[in-house]
Structure 1
Amino acid sequence: MKRLARIAVLTVSVFTSLAGCVSAPTGPTIAIMPREGKPFEVFQQEDKQCREFADNAVKDTSNAALKEGATSAAIGAALGAAAGAVIQGGSSPNIGTGAGVGLLGGAAMGAMNSAGKQNQAQTQYNIAYQQCMYSKGNQVPSYAAPVSGPSYR
């Protein structure tokens, strides 16, 4: 019974640490500059609008990363418990050890999978942010500012 309590505590701590590792992007990782002559206050307003737009564009990806990490850890624990039972002939101490090892392995796989999803979310965030800022006439790396934007002079 004590072993099950330890496994439960370990499970909760791994899920908590996975939740802490996975987060939505907190901002763009690219530099955008205002077009020449655009007031900085206007640029700041556009930046805020575009950050909100990009946040909405990646909500589903960030949630998927967290779910994938938790699912991988749970599957790993179940497979580890099953392997521990098979290898040791069903004795309960070894089932607990197998579940613990499986949980750690599953958590590691989940962390790797969710890290990939998190990178994907950051890329999607940057693209959405760039598109929004470009559409407002700002200078985006590798792209010239649109010539049809409003004049601020």
Structure 2
Amino acid sequence: MKPRSVPLLMAAALAVGACTSIPSGPSVMVLPGSNKTFDQFLGDDHNCRQFALGQFGGVSSQQASSTAAVSSSAVGPSYSGDSGYGAQYQYDAAYIQCMYAHGHRVPVYGQMIAAPPATPPANYKPAFPPPAPQGHTP
């Protein structure tokens, strides 16, 4: 490999890595919990977005604009993931965990399986007999 191509290759890798951006928000839908008001939901949503950003070293736009001195953490995240997808996945996971911990309804991944109908215990006796089946009588 030529000595000139090494710096060029490093610059290209840095440019591609710089394209990874901080997620602007969750890509999942979370609904308010049963006993939560919408104002509580909005407050928890704000707190959990901040929590999710902090989980991988990102800073919010408010934090970046309020910082007087420009530092490397204000310019971009310290997250060393390999793609924007990895950053979004980590953000969503932290956001879902936080919202679930605050009592909100979060998405559940997996296949829903219907439970078999419950059978009554062997010693069960109904208070009244079941109705006769409807249909043709001979």
**Structure with higher helix content:** 1
Larger Rg: 2
TM-score by length of 2: 0.50
TM-score by length of 1: 0.46
